[in-house]
Amino acid sequence: MRALLRLVGKRSGDLERLDRAFVHESYAREHTAVSNERMEFLGDAVLGVIVATWLYETFGDEDEGILTVRRSRIVNDAQLAQTALRLKFPELVFLGAGMRTSGGAENTSILADAFEAFVAALYLEYGLETARRFVLTQHVAHLDHDREALLDPKSKLQLVAQEQFASTPVYREAVVGTPQAPRFESTVSVAGSALGTGAGASKKAAQQAAAGAALAFLSERTTS
């Protein structure tokens, strides 16, 4: 914990409050302790303000659509968990016995929640500026902010739909596999017209495939 605090230029603080950011509900149940859930709630809001402000100031020529995509890529659980892993959060997380045995210390959702809770702890203990410095130097600065690199097919289609049709893509899924081997098909429509269909092992994968097919269709229509 002290090594983590040194990253934000602090040498002392209420370690009990800071430690609470790492108390998962499974540990709290087993030890009659207070979990990090309330701190996660606050940290999510603080993180959102920090990231939104940074994006607004950094990308002054971009519209709301691309800023929204950028924000979602920065604050999604997978990105937060990657930063938490790099900062060795698994060594700090308090988990119940069963959760730890099953590998919960490296669970994406648990790590992302701990990251948000730690942001809240910094905010409560040291103020917004310290929380902001931590988020920007230890998380945001380590991400790729190239516009093309940030946009997966679903995100790209959302921007194209907004720019060309003033509409939002709508996805409809159907399960086509078995309970033992589930598989999903997704069809994406924009402004009432079906533009692409895709399949995958999850709804998310199927939606990405459908978005890719829709983008290909729109590109061919534009060039033909």
Question: SS3 for 111?
Answer: helix
Strand 193-200 versus strand 170-175 pairing type: unpaired
The residue annotated as part of the active site, out of 19, 44, 62, 152, is: 44
Could you give the C-alpha distances from 213 to 25, 81, 206, 222, in angstroms and in order?
41, 30, 11, 14
Active-site pick, 113, 116, 125, 185: 116
Give the whole-angstrom CA distance, residue 105 versus residue 90.
5
Asked if residues 93 and 110 have their Cβ atoms less than 8 Å apart, the reply is yes
* Through-space distance between the first and last CA atoms of the chain, rounded to whole angstroms: 59
Please say if 144 is a catalytic residue. Answer: no
Distance CA 77, CA 113 (A): 8
Indicate if 44 belongs to the active site: yes
Active site residues: 44, 116
